[in-house]
Structure 1
Amino acid sequence: MSSTTDSSPSATSTPAGPDALNCGNGGGSDDFFHLRIASIFIIMIASSFGALFPVVARRTRLNNVIPKAVFDFAKYFGSGVIIATAFIHLLSPAIDELTSPCLGAGWNVYPWPLALCMLAIFGIFFVELFAFRWGSAKLAKLGIQHDPHGHGLAGHAAHGPEVLDHQHHSPQNPDSESDIEKNNKTPEFTNALDDSAVAQIIGIFILEFGIILHSVLIGLTLAVDPNFKVLFVVLVFHQMFEGLGLGSRLAFLKLPPKYNYVATVAATLYGFTTPVGIAAGLGVRSTYNPGSAKANIVSGVMDSLSSGILLYTGLVELLAHEFLFNKEMNQASNRRLGFACGSMLLGAGLMSLLGRWA
């Protein structure tokens, strides 16, 4: 693979332009260095606020102060953000990166970004299919029924599983329990709840994995991009909205008390990912060129896989299981359904608009 460097003065400009093509290995722009350092902390605050606020508000006194409609808005808004991120901020850049003129001809004879995205979708599907079948068999041995539409043991990150007691046929609510439910908490039932929690944790890990890969890569790009000011402003809102999308899913996880730390840890981890990427990019700014062949391949492959993960999560876990297979939503009024759909479209629309600049 050739790595010759264009020695023209425009070599550090945006790699996509034909007059500014730089397929070499170094380096990125060094303008506004102090502001780039400050961006580490500014984006950390914005990202952490977006991800942690729904989690903290849901588990503190704010839960009784903030209207339920606000939490619902955050949840559905976040679903739209995640879907738009997959299409606009991951799949589209992946196509550009893996069709870059810096790459060899072999990368242009097949739609690799779409194939890798599809591979990720099928990969996540088979993981969940295996987990669902394994969980169903285990629950059957314990004599516990579950909702076949994703509310059982292999539950989904969208809203968490609802394990059902075969005697009462009612959802197990971790926030309030009747005396009868407490008396019927056998060790087998407790084990089922633990398994259910693990399934939810795996689901949220899959979602966060796709988001984190994306966040680190855009942090690297921000650290060396010549159009720093515009990209910086856009990424502040981008990371806050994306954090809100993740945080709203974390806030609605239904976990036993001993697993409550998972949501906080996951939200905190998200807040650090882009700053880590920025810091790494600043550390290698003299040698790292986001337009180089190697950078295009790494970013393109990671973005393609991440887009598949978020597409599966957004369309199957969030849309299908929040709207189509959710009994509460099926029986909801037209006003509530319109509010949910409008919130989701607003999130998707704002995140898509940000794709104009980043």
Structure 2
Amino acid sequence: MVSPAPISLVLRDDADDCGSGGGADTLFGLRIGSVFIILLCSMTGALFPVLSVRYSKYMRVPEEVFDFAKWFGSGVIIATAFIHLLSPALDELGSPCLDPAWAEYPYALALCLLSIFGIFLAELVAFRWGTAKLAKIGIVHDPHGHGAGAHAAHGPENGANDIETTAVAEEKSSHSRFASVPSLRQQDDTMALDTPISQIIGVAILEFGVVLHSVLIGLTLAVDPDFKILFVVIIFHQTFEGLGIGSRLAYMKLAPAYRNVPVWGALLYGITTPVGIAAGLGVRSTYNPDSTTASIVSGVMDALSSGILIYTGMVELLAHEILFNKAMQNASNWKLARSVVTMLFGCGIMALLGKWA
């Protein structure tokens, strides 16, 4: 006959398997040090493209380095969406520790899909509203940058030259309305007109998805029992992801009033994972990333973030910057191949890191 005691013991084991109680507390000194080490790596990755573009005439960084950071970072963002966000979301929301109702529907994929269309509809409304507002004041505005601007075109159109001419005329008439952009971005001597607000919103959407992911990474690192392996992987992870964010921030065309937005964006990215680590260390006695509540929160956040990065990667990076970018259409085969290979390299490296984190 089975006594009550073993039954109680089994129940406690099952609860422990689902992550009740606190996380690991070993290597506490190194975990504290990881806050500052990852802060440095994240800041370096995100600030390097921003500061290099802003102070290009002083730093004299070769244009090839900028291109490498941009395309490598693009590949990192796409791999992050699928390997580091969507895949964990599937695992977290499919955990056997959750209520069986969670297994009756692919909620992670549904949330990712919801996020993709949510971002699409938000951009659609914002662009139509912004275009209408600009039209009222006599400015011809192409929200997706038909021409050779920082936001690439959907394809060659007869009105592209009119847009570019209007943009140049508007820029001259307003003198310093828009900040100057480094020469490496002034391809074909023309740039599409784009409002600072629309650019800031686009980058903010991307950074929002990355920031959520970074905070969750920090929380996990703070209490994970396999700290050493995860710590090394996250150093590379945050540095590479920082390059992706920084390269998007660096090439924003902004008026002087918005000049510091890229710097603040890079700093925000840099502090998110260290903040997550610090918070995790503070609640290490009660927080466990494998608990039921943590699995649901992490799964939902990862799924939504993956949709944001998938949309950004497929639309803003692949479509805008390569397929429909007039400058890339006119580029040599060598430059095009180098850009694609660099992006695939960044994607491959980030996907490989998914083996450990």
Q: Do the aligned residues in 2 keep the contact of 1:213 with 1:306 (CA within 8 Å)?
A: yes
Structure 2, unpaired ranges of 5+: 1-8, 154-159, 180-191
* Cα displacement string for residues 290-348 of structure 1 (whole angstroms, at most 9, x for unaligned residues): 11100000000000000000000110011100012211011111001001101100110
Q: What's the offset of the Cα at 1:184?
A: 2.3
* Cα displacement string for residues 143-163 of structure 1 (whole angstroms, at most 9, x for unaligned residues): 322346x117xxx98579xxx
Distance 1:187 1:241, change over 3 A: closer
Does 2:179 match 1:185? no
Match of 1:75 in 2: 70
Partner-residue secondary structure (3-state), 2:165: coil
User: How many residue pairs are counted as aligned between the two chains?
Assistant: 332
Match of 1:90 in 2: 85
* Cα displacement string for residues 72-115 of structure 1 (whole angstroms, at most 9, x for unaligned residues): 11111111000000000000000000000110010000000000
* Cα displacement string for residues 133-180 of structure 1 (whole angstroms, at most 9, x for unaligned residues): 1122222223322346x117xxx98579xxx996971654xxxxxxx7
- 1:22 equivalent among 11, 15, 18: 18
Match of 1:296 in 2: 295
* Cα displacement string for residues 47-93 of structure 1 (whole angstroms, at most 9, x for unaligned residues): 00000011011111466611111101111111100000000000000
Match of 2:183 in 1: none
Match of 1:337 in 2: 336
Pairwise mapping of residues 17-56 of structure 1 onto structure 2 (< 5 A)?
A: 21-24=17-20, 26-56=21-51
Letter in 2 for 1:69: E
Does 2:116 match 1:121? yes
Taking the aligned partners of 1:189 and 1:73, their CA distance within structure 2 comes to 26
Q: What's the offset of the Cα at 1:8?
A: 4.4
Taking the aligned partners of 2:26 and 2:161, their CA distance within structure 1 comes to 62
Q: Do the aligned residues in 2 keep the contact of 1:217 with 1:299 (CA within 8 Å)?
A: yes
Q: What's the offset of the Cα at 1:23?
A: 4.0
Match of 1:18 in 2: none
Match of 1:217 in 2: 216
Taking the aligned partners of 2:40 and 2:278, their CA distance within structure 1 comes to 15
Does 2:168 match 1:151? no
Letter in 2 for 1:132: F
Normalised TM-score (structure 2) = 0.86
Match of 2:5 in 1: none
Q: Do the aligned residues in 1 keep the contact of 2:75 with 2:347 (CA within 8 Å)?
A: yes
**Runs of 4+ in structure 1 over 3 Å off:** 4-11, 61-64, 156-160, 164-168, 180-183, 186-190
Partner-residue secondary structure (3-state), 1:206: helix
Normalised TM-score (structure 1) = 0.85
Distance 1:335 1:302, change over 3 A: same
Distance 1:5 1:234, change over 3 A: farther
Q: What's the offset of the Cα at 1:181?
A: 6.2
Letter in 2 for 1:335: W
Distance 1:187 1:56, change over 3 A: closer
Taking the aligned partners of 1:310 and 1:182, their CA distance within structure 2 comes to 32
Taking the aligned partners of 2:335 and 2:163, their CA distance within structure 1 comes to 32
Q: Do the aligned residues in 2 keep the contact of 1:28 with 1:226 (CA within 8 Å)?
A: yes
Match of 2:184 in 1: none
Q: What's the offset of the Cα at 1:257?
A: 1.8
Taking the aligned partners of 1:111 and 1:75, their CA distance within structure 2 comes to 34
* Cα displacement string for residues 266-289 of structure 1 (whole angstroms, at most 9, x for unaligned residues): 000111000000000000001001
Identity between Structure 1 and Structure 2 (%): 60
Q: Do the aligned residues in 1 keep the contact of 2:176 with 2:255 (CA within 8 Å)?
A: no
Match of 1:110 in 2: 105
Match of 1:136 in 2: 131
Distance 1:239 1:310, change over 3 A: same
Letter in 1 for 2:118: G
Letter in 1 for 2:304: L
Letter in 1 for 2:45: G
Distance 1:157 1:29, change over 3 A: farther
Match of 1:348 in 2: 347
Q: Do the aligned residues in 2 keep the contact of 1:194 with 1:256 (CA within 8 Å)?
A: no
Letter in 2 for 1:52: L
Q: Do the aligned residues in 2 keep the contact of 1:142 with 1:189 (CA within 8 Å)?
A: no
Partner-residue secondary structure (3-state), 1:100: coil
Distance 1:167 1:215, change over 3 A: closer
Match of 2:320 in 1: 321
Q: Do the aligned residues in 2 keep the contact of 1:54 with 1:248 (CA within 8 Å)?
A: yes
Distance 1:6 1:128, change over 3 A: same
Letter in 2 for 1:22: C
Match of 1:58 in 2: 53
Q: Do the aligned residues in 2 keep the contact of 1:117 with 1:307 (CA within 8 Å)?
A: yes
